[in-house]
Structures are given as C-alpha cells and as structure tokens.
Amino acid sequence: MIHDIDARRTEDCRLLQESLGLVAPVAPQLVAAFYDHLFAAYPQVRPMFPVDMQVQHDRLLKAIIALVTHYESPEQRVPALTAMGRDHVRYGVQLDHYVAVGGVLMATLRRFAGTAWNAEYEGAWTRAYTFAAGAMMMGSAQVAAASVADQLAA
C-alpha cells in the first residue's frame, strides 16, 4: 500500500513538472487569466484582493512552483500551507472558495496547455490541489477552533 502511494506520488510529481513546463513560457499570462476568470465567475471574492494585483500574481506563481517542486515530499509543505490557510481567514476566505479556486485553476491550466493537456495531467493537478487546499483548510479550522475555545473561556 505504501509503495503504491509512493509510486503515485512519484508519477504525479513527474506529471506536475512536465505539465508546468508546458505553461511556464506563458506563466504571467496564465496567472492573469486565472484571476480574470476567478473574478468573472465569482465576483464576490474580488474585494478580498488588492486593487494592484501584481504582488498577488507573484505570490500565486511562487505557490504553484513550490507545490510542484516539493510535491514528492508534500509533508514538508504542510506547515506553510496550514499557515497560509490561517492567514486567509482574515481575508474572509471560506471553504467554498477553495472549490471555486480549484475549478478555475484547472480550467486555466487546461486552456493554456491546449491540446497537450490530458487526463493524467488533470488527475495529478487535482490531487496536488486537493492536498494543498486540504492543508490550508486545516489551518482555517485551527483558527475557528481557537475562536471557539476563546469564546468558551470568556
């Protein structure tokens, strides 16, 4: 069973790197298109972001690269991802926003990879995003639990 998980992770790592290579030459355009699509499909999230999106574009691109680069050892990313999830609570991020972001990310990757995109890439990115979003949601749950504990203690 552990061997199967390791083999899947190794294969996903290869697929993530390979597919990221397909879109790397247009990464700035991909990130801009991601946010354009996100704000068009989910206008209620736009106020969570700054007017000037350049820093946010850079953050998203770095987060994607970090996820792909370290996916072979995802447990190393958990502390950073849970911290990111805790931080996102103050911006008003809710659980359903993770689903929206995941859907928009997949659609954007598909669009920019074009005919080179395949089911294997889709599966690897879905698993990687699910892992990252799950860790971030754990961070947001920690904030919620701390808030309840504070309320009970008061």
pLDDT the model gives residue 115? 97
Q: Give the whole-number percent of the chain exceeding pLDDT 90.
A: 79
pLDDT the model gives residue 150? 55
Q: Give the span between the Cα atoms of 45 and 43, in whole angstroms.
A: 5
Residue type, 34: F
Convert the pLDDT of each residue in 22-58 to its tens digit.
Answer: 999 999 999 999 999 999 999 999 999 999 999 999 9
12 touches 127 (CB < 8 A): yes
Backbone torsion region of residue 14, taken as left when φ is above 0, otherwise alpha when ψ lies between -120 and 50, otherwise beta: alpha
Both structure tokens of 13: 């790592």
From 42-51, 65-74, 93-102, 136-145, the region with the lowest mean pLDDT: 136-145
Both structure tokens of 39: 């704000």
Residues 67-89, mean pLDDT to the nearest whole number: 91
> What is the secondary structure of 36-83 as a DSSP string?
HHHHHH-GGGGGGS-SS-HHHHHHHHHHHHHHHHTTTSGGGTHHHHHH
Convert the pLDDT of each residue in 105-129 to its tens digit.
Answer: 999 999 999 999 999 999 999 999 9
Q: What is the mean pLDDT of the chain?
A: 91
Question: What global pTM score does this model have?
Answer: 0.89
